[in-house]
Amino acid sequence: MAIRITYVGHATVLIEMDGTRLLTDPILRGRVAHLRRHTGPWSGLLGEIDGVLISHAHMDHLDMRSLNQLAEGTLLVAPRGTARPLRKRFQVSEVDEDESIRLGALDVTATHAEHDGRRYAVGRPVPALGFLVAGTHRVFFAGDTDLFDGMADIGRAGVDLALLPVSGWGSRLPPGHLTPRTAAESLQRLAPRVVIPIHWGTLAPMRARRRSDMQDAPAREFAAHAAAMAPNTEVIVVSPGDSVELWPANSPAR
């Protein structure tokens, strides 16, 4: 059975598999705090969503105005400690690392993410997570993360598709993020059949000047590193707003 991936932009991905539709870290508007969307606000039609996966509480991953564009009562899966502002309008399941939940026809397991998940620079610690989505195929959504040893464990369990962040929104990446090079290095641990780079080409500070011909530079740099460091993994670069369909019915999952 085919899987369809729509890279909405930044860390927002629509995963359609086995009749179930999951959305990650929804950013669906043209501006978030001091960041603006260089590709314009999302104008696609999401339709019915079976669940939303929230990796952590940073404003560019948990945006209430974007979430409010979804149907009331939508099921959100979020790290423990982040549910309070969400419960007024949504069903929320808080999860810890290694905890699983059933969404439609899919099993979703929370994984570690090497990232500070607090909403603000000060405050009580709140975890960040990735998610392994398992059905006919196994999809790893990394959220925001740096390299961590447990990636090898995720890889040993089998990953068909990895959705990996390869950049950020500013001129530098602080600790807790994958660069194009370290994202390629992570492929040696995860060993996915296919990888789609995300978290690039979408958001930038309001006053930043970004050349349109450079917006895909992180994705292109990642693809070059991946070709050298993980030649057995196919890299598919999907532009913000575009979709790709993988593995027709006669193509078996690993």
Please give the single-letter amino acid code of residue 60: D
Q: How many residues does the chain have?
A: 254
Tell me how far apart the alpha carbons of residues 49 and 229 are, in angstroms, rounded to a whole number: 36
The SS3 assignment for 220 reads helix
> Residue 188 — very low, low, confident or very high, per pLDDT cuts 50/70/90?
very high
Tokens for 251?
A: 């193509």
Task: Say if residues 36 and 206 touch (Cβ distance below 8 Å).
Answer: yes
> Residue 213 — very low, low, confident or very high, per pLDDT cuts 50/70/90?
very low
- Please give the angle made by the CA atoms of 12, 154 and 249, to the nearest 5 degrees: 70
Residue 41: inside a domain, yes or no?
Answer: yes
The reported pLDDT for the residue numbered 23 is 98
Domain around 206: 3-239
Tell me how far apart the alpha carbons of residues 26 and 83 are, in angstroms, rounded to a whole number: 15
Give kind and range of the element (H or E) at residue 152: helix 151-157
Is residue 91 over pLDDT 50?
Answer: yes
The reported pLDDT for the residue numbered 210 is 57
Residue 244: inside a domain, yes or no?
Answer: no
Tell me how far apart the alpha carbons of residues 74 and 84 are, in angstroms, rounded to a whole number: 15
* Range name among 77-81, 105-109, 130-134, 200-204 with the lowest pLDDT average: 200-204
**What CATH number should be reported for the domain holding residue 177?**
3.60.15.10
Is residue 137 over pLDDT 50?
Answer: yes
Residue 245: inside a domain, yes or no?
Answer: no
Q: How many Cα atoms are found within 13 Å in the side-chain-facing hemisphere of 78?
A: 28
Residue 19: inside a domain, yes or no?
Answer: yes
The reported pLDDT for the residue numbered 144 is 94
Q: What is the DSSP string of 24-87?
A: ES---SSEETTEEETT-S--S-----SEEE----STTTS-HHHHTTSPTT-EEEEETT--GGGT
Tokens for 170?
A: 């500013």
Residue 254: inside a domain, yes or no?
Answer: no
Residue 228: inside a domain, yes or no?
Answer: yes
Residue 249: inside a domain, yes or no?
Answer: no
Tell me how far apart the alpha carbons of residues 183 and 191 are, in angstroms, rounded to a whole number: 12
Task: Say if residues 177 and 144 touch (Cβ distance below 8 Å).
Answer: yes
In this prediction, residues 243-254 reach a mean pLDDT of: 73
Residue 246: inside a domain, yes or no?
Answer: no
Q: How many domains does the chain have?
A: 1
Is residue 126 over pLDDT 70?
Answer: yes
* Extended strands (E) in the chain: 3-9, 12-17, 20-24, 31-32, 35-37, 51-53, 75-79, 91-95, 100-103, 106-112, 129-134, 138-141, 161-165, 194-198, 203-205, 234-235, 242-246
- pTM of the entire structure? 0.91
Task: Say if residues 78 and 87 touch (Cβ distance below 8 Å).
Answer: no
In this prediction, residues 35-41 reach a mean pLDDT of: 72
In this prediction, residues 56-64 reach a mean pLDDT of: 87
The reported pLDDT for the residue numbered 147 is 97
> Residue 41 — very low, low, confident or very high, per pLDDT cuts 50/70/90?
low
